[in-house]
């Protein structure tokens, strides 16, 4: 019981932070490539809270929130790892 409490208290926030930051930076590269430069990524630490994954202001480009950018980066990384493992084990 104490070990699971310690792992939840210490390791879970650590892994979440690492995956969110890594996913965010992968997403910062992938989102403009996929959208052809039409979408931009929001800063990682932003004081304003935005609902949903997209927002824009009149006359400005569409922005993805930092959480949506991290999600895109994690999905892209998972797909790439899956494709590499599939290629490695199929041949």
At 46-88, the pLDDT tens digits run 655 555 666 766 777 788 888 888 899 999 999 999 999 999 9
Question: For residue 84, what are the CA distances in angstroms to 1, 90, 91?
Answer: 38, 10, 11
In this predicted structure, what is the pLDDT of residue 87? 95
Residues in Cβ contact with 44 at an 8 Å cutoff, skipping those fewer than 6 apart: 21, 24, 66
In this predicted structure, what is the pLDDT of residue 42? 82
In this predicted structure, what is the pLDDT of residue 21? 87
Question: Taking the CB of residue 14, how many other CB atoms lie within 10 A of it?
Answer: 10
The DSSP symbol for 65 reads: -
In this predicted structure, what is the pLDDT of residue 84? 96
pTM for this predicted structure: 0.74
Question: For residue 45, what are the CA distances in angstroms to 3, 24, 42?
Answer: 32, 11, 9
Whether 89 shows a pLDDT value over 90: the answer reads yes
């Amino acid at each position: 019981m104490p070990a699971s409490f310690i792992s939840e208290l210490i390791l879970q926030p650590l892994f979440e932070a690492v995956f969110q930051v890594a996913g965010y930076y992968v997403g910062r590269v992938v989102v403009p490539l996929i959208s052809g430069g039409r979408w931009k990524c929001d800063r990682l630490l932003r004081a304003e809270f935005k609902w949903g994954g997209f927002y824009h202001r009149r006359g400005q480009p569409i922005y993805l929130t930092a959480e949506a950018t991290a999600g895109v980066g994690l999905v892209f990384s998972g797909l790439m790892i899956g494709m590499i493992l599939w290629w490695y084990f199929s041949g």
